[in-house]
Structure 1
Amino acid sequence: MLIATTRTRSTVPGEMFNGERALAPAFADMTISIPPNKLRKKGQVAWPKRLPSNPATDFATVKANDLNIDEAKKWLSTSVKKAPDGSVLVFIHGFNNRFEDAVYRFAQIVHDSGVHSAPVLVTWPSRGSLLAYGYDRESTNYTRNALETLFQYLAKDPEVKEVSILAHSMGNWLALESLRQMAIRNGRLPEKFKNVMLAAPDVDVDVFRQQIADMGKQHPQFTLFVSRDDKALAFSRRVWGDVSRLGAIDPEQAPYKKELEDNKIMVIDLTKIKSGDSMNHGKFAESPEIVQLIGQRISDGQTLTDSHVGLGDQILVATSGAATAAGNVAGLVLAAPVAVVDQDTRDNYATHVGTLAGSSSAQPATTNCDQTRPTPSCKR
């Protein structure tokens, strides 16, 4: 992976970058070895139990080379040519992440998703401490110009055909602010910026509303991953004056439902997904099915809600086997804990429920459009 960072280079042996702020961006080329699948569950990072790491059982850094900016551009050019669709995946980590946390998590996501894009990790100065929330937040603002510069380069590079952005937690603030800044500066966002995936965004929902407006009508396909049991975002909400955080909203409630629909933002509700994370803040990366499906969509060069076969349809296919075995509608509900909020998936879900219920026509039922939760066939 290519590392682009505003962290300071560390003087500690064995540590490449620390959590302090550098005067200028730095770059590196890193290769991470991942143990065989039989020794690790997808969605998990096999942290080294001792140093040096054992590549047979643990994630291990096998190459870590500093690059200057020209070398970084050469790395990107070479890697993009290897990607079947000339695509780049940019990952921006969240709050409380040491450098190695961000590197290994991104390695896990790229490996488990099967994505073939050139992987670029943007890592900003986080001190890796729960008590450094304020410092981390200001570090995202400190990194905003550097990330926009990277985005501008990707937009102008003719070899880069498509850009997808994946941000987690506080990293969403950095991603959204840099995209907003770029849109204001250029008058629009580039068409090659296809997908922006917002995982558990620690962003004020009111501010997000304005950020989207500032980006203009032509913006990438946004996919929002929410979980109402996210304890980290519940804490953040208290810190920020009890204003809802974007990653913890109920997408079925007003005013969010209409606003999301108007902006064509796809929402994947992970509230019912069980997580090994006690804070329920990292479900996106820890859910093997979700990571794999998104990787497939990026690799296919399609948006997550492309045509009539969206990510939600793939989730239905992945979960409907258990429902068929149960032989009833309840089985489908239990087998599909991920709620996908986009119109095509709603239609297909309703049809599938009708089939399991023994409907002769297998058509979605209609309802009054004045009801709080209209069915898919109630077109507005």
Structure 2
Amino acid sequence: MGYLVRLILAVSTTVLAGCSTLGTREISSAELASLTPPATVSAEETKEDRQYPVLYGTTRAPSGDGTYSDQRDVQVHYGKVMVKIPKGHVTGSLGKKAIWPWRSDTHLSVQEITPLRSQDDFVGLMQRSLSNIRQTQSDYVVVFIHGFNNSFNDAAIRAAQIGADLDVPENNMIFFSWAARSSIDQYTVDEATVDASEIYLRTFLQSVIQGAGTRQVHVIAHSMGNRALLRTIVASLENASAAQHMQFGQIILAAADVDRDLFAQLGPNYLKVAQRTTVYLSPYDYAVHASGLVHAYPRVGCGDVPQVMIKGIDNVVSFIPDDIPAHAYFAEALPLLVDIKNLIRRNTPERPAPLWNYNNGFWTIGEAVPGALANRMRCKTQTTLHVNAG
């Protein structure tokens, strides 16, 4: 067992690297989906270079080179980043830097960071940007919250990749970057920092909601970023009147590095603030599996069946083998990108058989990877906690 734990931990260090109305009658999500064709995601390479803008809020201290450091600040900094998505970009990929001069560089890269002076400037920029796009194209914005071992630029690039691949209109993709250390040996430091980020994330999300106006705000939280989001939602419900509660469209909880028992206790709060909440987990997420071993208790984002089943919250277990050891599968596997895009666009997933299966109250995609090593390292759910949020 000691060998297996060490092996999993060694592998993990490499990978931790809407409601609508027609007249006065409310349209159900099922009706809305029937009126909206299923969304797809193109698997073709991009034909030309593209500059993709993403807005941001960060609690990182500014650095001297025009970007942001891995040190905490005691305020939210706002701004806009231009990310280059080069010709040859493949959906679900961050690209590769060219080693040889005759090969094309397909790696996404930060081109320009433009800080804003204040929260009001950020809200104003959002309002102006969204007003320039037809309402039918931009009736939503998407906020991405990154996880452990991410720099500011890492977060910006991942947000741009997700936004571009999901066809999120320019300036509608937003990310929040807490002061994670971009180092695999700083896990406990990041744990302390993400816990201290809750009040700032709450402020930022309130700014986004104000800037979005009547548009829906969808949230995608990844890995340790789920901890900040969960605490933020709980705090907003405890400290605000019903009229001031933050309301969201889709909340996507991807590869959540969150304690199973804590999620069983606090997770039902998502039902109070989101139109739909979806948990994505994988038995091959060795990063989250390693976190479970470190903490001695299972994490929400790793298992072969859901760790927690809360009535009203959807669970998707991904057996897709393309990204073993998996941790970013939600943003890299084409079927899951399609799934998220349908949730955002239609509030209804498009999960056709035989690729998708629904049994025992949750969804699965793909089949278990054969082989003794994959089976030994697979994260197996020992007990599913069932919560009736009634």
Q: Same fold judged by TM-score > 0.5?
A: yes
Query: Which digits, 9 at most, give the CA deviation of each residue in 1:297-354, with x for residues without a partner?
Result: 31x3x32xx3xxxx1xx231xxx5xxxxxxxxxxx3xxx2x555696989xx9xxxxx
Pick closer, same or farther for the CA change 1:155–1:190 going to 2, 3 Å. farther
> Which residue in 1 is equivalent to 2:339?
293
Q: Equivalent of 1:146, from 200, 217, 225?
A: 200
Pick closer, same or farther for the CA change 1:343–1:216 going to 2, 3 Å. closer
Q: Distance in 1 between matches of 2:98 and 2:357?
A: 36
Q: Does the 8 Å contact 1:3/1:120 carry over to 2?
A: yes
Q: Distance in 1 between matches of 2:294 and 2:340?
A: 32
- The structural deviation recorded for 1:295 is 2.1
Q: Distance in 1 between matches of 2:163 and 2:189?
A: 28
SS in 2 for 1:173: helix
> Which residue in 2 is equivalent to 1:77?
127
- The structural deviation recorded for 1:296 is 3.8
Matched positions, count:
303
Matched to 2:148, the amino acid is F
> Which residue in 2 is equivalent to 1:185?
239
Q: Does the 8 Å contact 1:93/1:123 carry over to 2?
A: yes
Q: Which runs of 5+ in 1 are unaligned?
A: 321-331, 350-380
Q: Does the 8 Å contact 1:33/1:55 carry over to 2?
A: no
Higher normalized contact order (CA 8 Å, seq sep 6+, divided by chain length): 2
TM-score by length of 2: 0.70
Are 1:280 and 2:316 matched, yes or no? no
Query: Which digits, 9 at most, give the CA deviation of each residue in 1:167-220, with x for residues without a partner?
Result: 100011111111111111125574741110000000001111121245675644
Pick closer, same or farther for the CA change 1:88–1:340 going to 2, 3 Å. farther
Are 1:134 and 2:168 matched, yes or no? no
> Which residue in 1 is equivalent to 2:293?
238
Pick closer, same or farther for the CA change 1:341–1:181 going to 2, 3 Å. farther
SS in 1 for 2:175: strand
Q: Please say which of residues 173-182 and 197-206 is displaced more in the overlay.
A: 173-182
SS in 2 for 1:267: strand
Pick closer, same or farther for the CA change 1:192–1:215 going to 2, 3 Å. closer
- The structural deviation recorded for 1:85 is 4.2
> Which residue in 2 is equivalent to 1:269?
317
TM-score by length of 1: 0.72
> Which residue in 1 is equivalent to 2:93?
44
Q: Please say which of residues 125-134 and 76-85 is displaced more in the overlay.
A: 76-85
> Which residue in 2 is equivalent to 1:354?
none
Pick closer, same or farther for the CA change 1:107–1:340 going to 2, 3 Å. farther
Q: Which runs of 5+ in 2 are unaligned?
A: 1-53, 366-390
Pick closer, same or farther for the CA change 1:280–1:58 going to 2, 3 Å. closer
Task: Report the structure number with the largest CA radius of gyration.
Answer: 1
- The structural deviation recorded for 1:29 is 0.9
Q: Does the 8 Å contact 1:144/1:177 carry over to 2?
A: yes
Q: Distance in 2 between matches of 1:172 and 1:340?
A: 25
Are 1:89 and 2:142 matched, yes or no? yes
Q: Does the 8 Å contact 1:154/1:160 carry over to 2?
A: no
Aligned-residue CA RMSD (Å): 2.8
Instruction: Map 1:357-368; keep pairs closer than 5 Å.
Output: none
Q: Distance in 2 between matches of 1:158 and 1:49?
A: 38
Q: Does the 8 Å contact 1:144/1:178 carry over to 2?
A: yes
- The structural deviation recorded for 1:62 is 3.2
Q: Distance in 1 between matches of 2:326 and 2:315?
A: 17
Q: Distance in 2 between matches of 1:169 and 1:92?
A: 9
Q: Distance in 2 between matches of 1:41 and 1:23?
A: 38
Q: Distance in 2 between matches of 1:49 and 1:28?
A: 30
Matched to 1:76, the amino acid is M
